[in-house]
Structure 1
Amino acid sequence: MGDDDRIALDRTDEAILKALQDDGRISTADLARAVSLSPSSTADRVRRLVDAGVITGYTATVSATALGYTITAFVRLAYPSGNYKPLHSLLDVTPEVVEAHHVTGDDCFILKVLARSMSDLERLTGRLATLGAVTTNVVYSSPLTRRRLEPG
């Protein structure tokens, strides 16, 4: 959705979005009760929000630490070329890179990387450094990992 593609949301749509962001597994019946609609009307509204691209999917939030990824880092990559195919190819085979953002400024990309150890992080940043200069920031803690989106 572009800036001009914003759809009009009423208070019920906003309540549905809030409830689904709080609990993506909420049943249609419970969601309907929460927003004071019938289950069929609620299902129709959710379907409309999906069709309009407002709701883009449903997913489980998984603990990286529970899976053995004890280190989170942000790696800034100064990519010297306009040919992004090598970067995309590396991202395709490096699942430890969980986010990649093309940004303005001295660096071209900011990557969120999960690692099992410092030596694992060194291996990962070494692979990324084959594409350009990297600067790595290790995360001490994350006081805010996720925030519910509110309509603007």
Structure 2
Amino acid sequence: MALRSERSLDQTDWKILRELQQDGRLSFNELGKRVGLSAPAAAERVRKLEDAGIITSYGARVDATRFGLPLLVFIQLRCAPDRCLFKTSSAEKFPEILEMHRLGGHHCTMLKVALSSMEHLEAFQERLDAYGEYTINVVTSNLFTKHIIDWEQPEVDLHPSAQQEWDKR
């Protein structure tokens, strides 16, 4: 399977994306040095990646355990028909939610939630009860977190016809 996107990315674009995903605070001067461009050319490439919606934001990754939220849970939620969390609530009511995803299948929603304690989890559950049935999975350790997307090269063996299509890019 070949990667498809609305905008074709060349090797320089991928170099820029790798560098910015590792350190979004790089100056255009430093970024240009790392990818073999002048600072203005690097800035123009980044602007084009932003305009294409490929780069959507810049920010800091934080460790929630360091500021009092050591309990991480994933909650699969199956909303009651007239009480969908997506439609009837707001982020302000659930500041503990780090991520919220709509799902296909038995559950309609997946929540990633950071909490301070088991008591905090119980209080969160009481607020969540109004929306439907759920399954809670407590994270015991984080084995792998991928922060960098790098699909410049195919990561799997492709069928020969798919490989030929990939090589045409």
TM-score normalised over the length of structure 2: 0.82
Closer, same or farther in 2 for the Cα pair 1:140/1:116, shift >3 Å? same
Residue 106 of structure 2 is matched in structure 1 by 106
> Aligned-residue CA RMSD in angstroms?
2.0
Q: Distance in 2 between matches of 1:116 and 1:104?
A: 30
| Contact 1:87–1:131, Cα closer than 8 Å, also in 2 | no
What displacement does 1:95 show?
Answer: 1.1
What secondary structure sits across from 2:100 in the alignment? strand
Q: Distance in 1 between matches of 2:86 and 2:112?
A: 18
Residue 120 of structure 1 is matched in structure 2 by 120
Question: What is the one-letter code of the residue matched to 1:29?
Answer: N
1:26-74 C-alpha deviation (Å, 9 max, x unpaired): 1111100000000000000000000000000000111100110010000
What displacement does 1:151 show?
Answer: 3.4
What secondary structure sits across from 2:148 in the alignment? coil
What displacement does 1:4 show?
Answer: 7.5
| Contact 2:83–2:130, Cα closer than 8 Å, also in 1 | no
Q: Which has the larger radius of gyration?
A: 2
1:1-152 correspondence to structure 2 within 5 Å: 6-81=6-81, 84=84, 87=87, 89-151=89-151
What displacement does 1:82 show?
Answer: 6.0
What secondary structure sits across from 1:111 in the alignment? strand
What secondary structure sits across from 2:137 in the alignment? strand
| Contact 2:83–2:131, Cα closer than 8 Å, also in 1 | no
Closer, same or farther in 2 for the Cα pair 1:141/1:88, shift >3 Å? farther
What secondary structure sits across from 2:42 in the alignment? helix
More displaced 10-residue stretch of structure 1: 85-94 or 97-106 = 85-94
| Contact 2:79–2:85, Cα closer than 8 Å, also in 1 | no
Question: What is the one-letter code of the residue matched to 1:134?
Answer: Y
Greater RCO structure (CA 8 Å; 6+ sep): 2
What displacement does 1:87 show?
Answer: 5.0
What secondary structure sits across from 1:130 in the alignment? helix
